[in-house]
A and B are shown apart, each in its own frame.
Chain A
Amino acid sequence: MSVTDAGPVAAPVRQPAVQTPFARFVADFTESRLATFAFILLVVTMLLALIAPWIVPQNPYDLAQVDIMDSRLKPGTPASSGKYTHWLGTDGAGRDLVSAMLYGLRISLLVGVLSGLIAMAVGAAIGLIAAYVGGRTESLIMRIVDLQLSFPAILVALMLIAILGKGVDKIIIALVTVQWAYYARTVRGSALVESRKEYVEAARCLGLSNGRILFRHILPNCLPPLIVVVTVQTAHAISLEATLSFLGVGLPQTEPSLGLLISNGFQYMLSGDYWISFFPGLVLLATIVVINLVGDQLRDVLNPRLSK
């Protein structure tokens, strides 16, 4: 079966270019109302997370402000200081849930997005090189990928904790270590197909540099499956962080992320104090849904072959 591919793919131009590429991108993106709504929500969420310290009634990471006597208060109970109300109740350590969730959101987003992006950058670059260079380099890289993929996340996290201690930066390192190989493998798979296509040969004949061929021609064509993996994996990174916390090798106990709030609240699920893990769960869910809606639309807009 012979396949005629859509020639050299440098974003085929639909109409005579009256629009700048960015304006066209915006126009394409806002075509979906749902995605636009999600994007706005995402911006709001990120803003809220960013300015959390100035809008919440309590610093949930300051042990002087948190009191075990306030633990597991029902939503709507006034704080013992009388200055504010725990609108969503408190958790098992006495943290105000609204405050803890916004602070947690900060950390979860930071951890998820940062580890996702770094892992993608590292993994995609390595995968591309492996596919393009081939030979011994490819074998070596792919065997390292095999090695990495067979290492359980919890073991990586445990070793890093023993060597580096606990912390947000450490968990990001752990997640990148766990995830880069995944991207490398996916990108190599698609790049292997792309690098044998006619347009690459054409580019070679034109005498383009390897770097240019790799990053300007092959990479854009590997993007669609990559974006799928990125949006899924970023979300996955956030819940993986929660899982690591659940297994006891996650973030510090006194500075909970959304994931840690959920895994702490996990033990209250059968006891009737539903709010401790329900509200953080809801926020985590909403955040991830929003990231994915935006990601989905981005993928469709950025995909050169989908342009109508």
Chain B
Amino acid sequence: MYRSKTILTALVAAGLALSAPFAATAKELRMALSAEPSSMDPHFHNLTPNNALTSHVFERLVHFDSKMKPIPGLATSWKTIDEKTWEFKLRPGVKWHDGSPFTADDVLFSMERAPNVENSPGSFATYVKGKTFAKIDDMTIRVTTPAPYPLMPNDLATIAIISKKAASGAKTDDFNSGKAAIGTGPYKYAEFVKGDRYVLVRNEDHWGEKPVWTKVTIRPIKTGPSRISALLAGDVDVIEEVPTTDIERLKGDTKIALGQGLSNRVIFFHMDQWRDESPFITANDGSKIKNPLKDKRVRLALSKAINRPAIVDRLMEKAAVPASQFLADDFFGTSKKLKPETFDIEGAKKLLAEAGYPKGFKMTLHSPNGRYINDARMAEAVAQMFTRIGVETKVETMPGAVYFTRATTGANGNPEFSFMLLGWGAGTGEVSSPLKSLVATFDKVKGMGPVNRGRYSNPVLDKAIEEALATVDDPKRAELLAKASEIAIEDVAVIVSHYQLNTWATRKGMQYTPRADEYTIAMSVSEQ
């Protein structure tokens, strides 16, 4: 630790001009994560900490930049041959960490393995499904789909390419032990001690821009205050997920630098819109009533009751932005017309009265605790706000372990709760992901609305989403997605609250370029 400190001091003292000769010296970076990666096998579990860790070692055909725009990775370019066929040109001259050359065979091998990893608790099958991969020559592959499929680059940005030579027949444990952990990425596998530390060393032969750090040690520190303490004590250089309560204080700390950026995650509420009587809604006297959430006016009233600026300001410590739709404005496919619902208690009360609930009703708001940033406190604050317009709201929080099963299949295979807090991170970096999963009509056969926990159903919206999903032309699709978002939001299919900002903290002299996909990677840590 002292060594790197002195080097840093020396650098600062000597000025930037001298940094080039010094670049050859060892520079260690220590990062603390809030969650523990479970494997070095990039196909084992599609989970943010795993994906972030393995992306040091393995690369994808398409990469996401920090704002989740697709950029060339192991593929230098891609284009559509016809509506149903995509062609990818592979990057020439790329070498695996063992020295063998990267070819189309590796890509085919990876696509074959990714959906079929033994014991995988959450595989990448969703992104490979329905695609046929064909090798044209060593540096060209073609992907065909039965129907027009516009999300090809986004999907392929999730699948890591592994070496056919090193990983043939390899099991997950072989990646963890390092045997099969041969990638093309900017870092090489050095050590994997589950739950303790993950060590990587720089790949000096990498094709791309060389990262600053020669050695990277990643450690999981789950508890927020402990993570901050580790940074303040100088035991780590970078931490992710800075607790919102500490942001203000760290801003004033001269030894710390913050990196904050918009995430792809929206916090919203699903509302029971399929049962005639909802289990957690009663009249004020406790008797059963017709499900009020089926009435758009009630849903709008609840949305108006939420004081979004107050939530952002008082609860999220400004580490959030009031939400108007499913993804923040600068993502692909968002509507420019939608604005966050204005806070209006009188308007809300009026709408409730119009809908036939002048005295409100009673409701229970369910929320996980510890799954999203400040989730339980958020539920409590929103319950306060609902109570103020006459909807007396009780809060019930529970650990994710209990919550998600009940919220998904708690009532004989259907969602149990009436009004629930949830979050959604758009893994594809564009709007079709939340539209398709959250508000499209629940349909097992089509694979639509898989986590539509309010069972909202609107044929007009379904048609709009399906049309967008079959449009390959980017500008046209963006327009269609925006229209679909407007339909959903104007009908208050869900109540959106805010987009999360992600916050990283580093020691002074470093800077973290915030990533919308919430990845914490050494390549994003720069030196100043």
Task: Find A271's partner among B229, B248, B387, B396 (CB 8 Å cutoff).
Answer: B248
The SS class assigned to the A binding surface is loop
* CA A68 to CA B379, docked complex, whole Å: 11
Residues of A within 8 A of B228 (CB): 270
A133 within 8 Å of B (CB atoms): no
Some 29 contacts from A to B, beta carbons below 8 A apart, are A63-B395, A67-B384, A68-B307, A68-B311, A68-B314, A69-B307, A71-B314, A71-B315, A93-B380, A93-B384, A94-B384, A165-B396, A166-B396, A166-B398, A248-B398, A252-B395, A252-B396, A253-B369, A253-B376, A253-B377, A253-B380, A254-B383, A267-B224, A268-B245, A269-B225, A270-B225, A270-B229, A270-B246, A271-B245
* CA A64 to CA B385, docked complex, whole Å: 8
Minimal beta-carbon separation of B408 from chain A (angstroms): 14
* CA A94 to CA B243, docked complex, whole Å: 19
Would B388 and A93 count as touching, CB distance under 8 A? no
Contacting residues of chain B (306-333) with chain A, CB-CB under 8 angstroms: 307, 310-311, 314-315
Interface size on B, residues (CB 8 A): 37
A92 within 8 Å of B (CB atoms): yes
Residues of B within 8 A of A270 (CB): 225, 228-229, 232, 245-246, 249
Interface code A160-172, partner B: CB below 8 Å = 1, 0 otherwise?
A: 0110011000000
* CA A269 to CA B369, docked complex, whole Å: 19
Task: Find A63's partner among B249, B307, B310, B383 (CB 8 Å cutoff).
Answer: B383
Would B387 and A63 count as touching, CB distance under 8 A? yes
A272 within 8 Å of B (CB atoms): yes
Residues of A within 8 A of B310 (CB): 68-69
**Known contacts A69-B310, A92-B245, then 18 further A-B pairs from the complex at CB < 8 Å, ordered by chain A residue:** A63-B384, A68-B314, A68-B384, A72-B314, A92-B315, A92-B377, A93-B377, A93-B380, A93-B381, A166-B398, A248-B370, A252-B396, A253-B369, A254-B383, A254-B394, A267-B224, A270-B229, A270-B246
Interface code A233-269, partner B: CB below 8 Å = 1, 0 otherwise?
A: 0000000000000001100111000000000101111
B485 within 8 Å of A (CB atoms): no
A273 within 8 Å of B (CB atoms): yes
Residues of B within 8 A of A (CB): 224-225, 228-229, 232, 243, 245-246, 248-249, 307, 310-311, 314-315, 369-370, 376-377, 379-381, 383-385, 387-388, 392-399, 401-402
Minimal beta-carbon separation of B272 from chain A (angstroms): 19
A129 within 8 Å of B (CB atoms): no
Would B387 and A158 count as touching, CB distance under 8 A? no
Which one of B379, B380, B385, B397 has the highest number of Cβ atoms from chain A below 10 Å of its Cβ? B380
Residues of A within 8 A of B224 (CB): 267
* CA A68 to CA B399, docked complex, whole Å: 23
Would B245 and A273 count as touching, CB distance under 8 A? yes
Name the residue on A nearest B228 (C-beta).
A270
Residues of B within 8 A of A69 (CB): 307, 310, 314
Minimal beta-carbon separation of A168 from chain B (angstroms): 14
Task: Find B395's partner among A92, A248, A253, A273 (CB 8 Å cutoff).
Answer: A253
A66 within 8 Å of B (CB atoms): yes
* CA A69 to CA B392, docked complex, whole Å: 19
Residues of A within 8 A of B225 (CB): 266-267, 269-270
Would B399 and A249 count as touching, CB distance under 8 A? yes
Residues of B within 8 A of A273 (CB): 245
